[in-house]
Chain A
């Protein structure tokens, strides 16, 4: 039967989140006394595919088919469902990211499975199958039972530790069985920011709010990000005002992130802001108002002026890094 994992690749490479998925699936497979098969779609070198074995994949189904590069949702879902059928999979695991959220619901319908998205842990129980996720934008957890035979899960990022094994994976090329007429998405233009740490990948994120006063004051934060190798984020009014780009907006209506370390400078800590960052492992807040609600969410705090604190922080980190 095996558990199927679908992971995308990024220009032929996997990311930490791919390995998280495989580690999670392997732990789940142990509970269900089965093995892990990974489906990889797109061009990935065998050396890279083998890395998935280190986290517990026994078999890798390799679909080196460039037609899927358009990320046509219908075609991708069909490919995943076909792989699950050919493996007789009782569970299919996806990342809870843009692509996983796009494909998993379709696959669940195709396989007549039951789905829980954004799970944060292994199931508490496998029979009945009960699994935990965050609801109300991080304000609560729910335990959800899946009644269907086939379980479809998307795993929240950074919620499961990597577990290395001495497993070796067998790579098989797989015919996804998707005919040309299924594809109907045409990509006309792709624009990617290069050279910056991607917010959704970043282990450390430095974030600024209205406390920065205007668009001209962000140099100090960029410098801190540089020193830390951190991603940059901002509150919604900052991106609404055009002080920073929309891709940096975090919160309930922006990006939802879960870094190891999140710095909030000049951010009051509105509930909608916290909704996007409350899964961070450690939150540090710097705010000149001791009553700001951000301090209720933070682990470490400084009541003070960000314009004074940030340059000192940058200097201090430079010192310890050298």
Chain B
């Protein structure tokens, strides 16, 4: 089985969000870039499955400019065998999925995060599956390979389902797919330097959406403090002022 893990390069989750150019663009100055948390968990699970023997190769791929290469190198250090970067600015989900469709068609399982923590699209995985005419399974929180068959756990409202699905398939993964992200070891970092990172040119693809501008949320009113010994007053405020129950 050959696995492709998609890697989105996103600002560290503690980044202070600011905009430039008349609020038309995200201010990337001083930003620390990381592997999108769900992609990191997806990759961790892929590596665990490979160690257990069910996986031939793990490829990671990103659509982005050269600044994303340290993130791809980190993915190689965690345990991917090779990396592909499609050299272009990711414009919107459809544009990104169209780029990825060029390479994804050769894999049995494609692991995609449930959303990228920057623009929160939750779109690339489903679009890619449709472009390839593959099936997709969303909200995947568990993955196993038994006798060459893929078995998945997915989250449904108020519970979980164990399902089997034919490959090739796009799995859109979330929390639970792996417990803790794997941290690259020194040996992994050394080996990653020698692993192949292929750069491919972008293909023509239209974009269907564009950002007009960004806004920061309006400043919040100060928190109303109530004394520890006056819980009654808190309940009164919630009931009468906030009309919360």
Instruction: Name A's B-contacting residues (CB within 8 A).
Output: 10, 70-74, 77, 96-99, 101-106, 108-110, 113-118, 130, 133-148, 154, 184-194, 196, 198, 200-201, 204, 228, 240, 246, 249, 252-254, 260-261, 271-272, 275, 281-282, 284-285, 295-305, 308-309, 312-313, 316-317, 320
Contacts and interface: CB of A to CB of B under 8 A. Distances in A.
B183 interface: no
Q: How large is the interface on B (under 10, 10 to 19, 20 to 34, 35 or more residues)?
A: 35 or more
Contacts of B193: none
Nearest to B101: A109
Q: Which 7 pairs, one residue from A and one from B, show the smallest C-beta to C-beta distance? A: A105-B126, A304-B228, A102-B138, A114-B208, A192-B159, A109-B130, A312-B231
A303 B227 CA distance: 7
Main secondary structure of the interface of B (DSSP, over half): mixed
A184 B165 contact: yes
Nearest to A262: B244
A144 B207 CA distance: 12
Contacts of B176: 246
A70 B75 CA distance: 34
Interface in B230-245: 231-232, 234-235, 237-239, 242, 244-245
Contacts of B159: 190-193
A60 B244 CA distance: 34
B127 interface: yes
Nearest to A283: B223
Contact of B163 (A102, A187, A299, A312): A187
B208 A300 contact: no
A134 B238 CA distance: 27
A98 B139 contact: yes
A73 B136 contact: yes
Interface in B172-190: 172, 175-176, 179-180
Contacts of A275: 13
Contacts of A272: 13-14
B127 A108 contact: yes
B226 A302 contact: yes
A13 B145 CA distance: 35
A300 B175 CA distance: 30
Nearest to A147: B208
B37 to A, nearest CB: 5
B127 A74 contact: no
B155 A260 contact: no
Given A113-B208, A114-B208, A317-B235, 20 more contacts: A73-B137, A96-B122, A101-B172, A102-B137, A108-B123, A108-B208, A109-B127, A110-B130, A117-B120, A118-B122, A135-B214, A148-B209, A154-B122, A184-B165, A184-B166, A187-B161, A188-B162, A253-B38, A282-B242, A300-B226
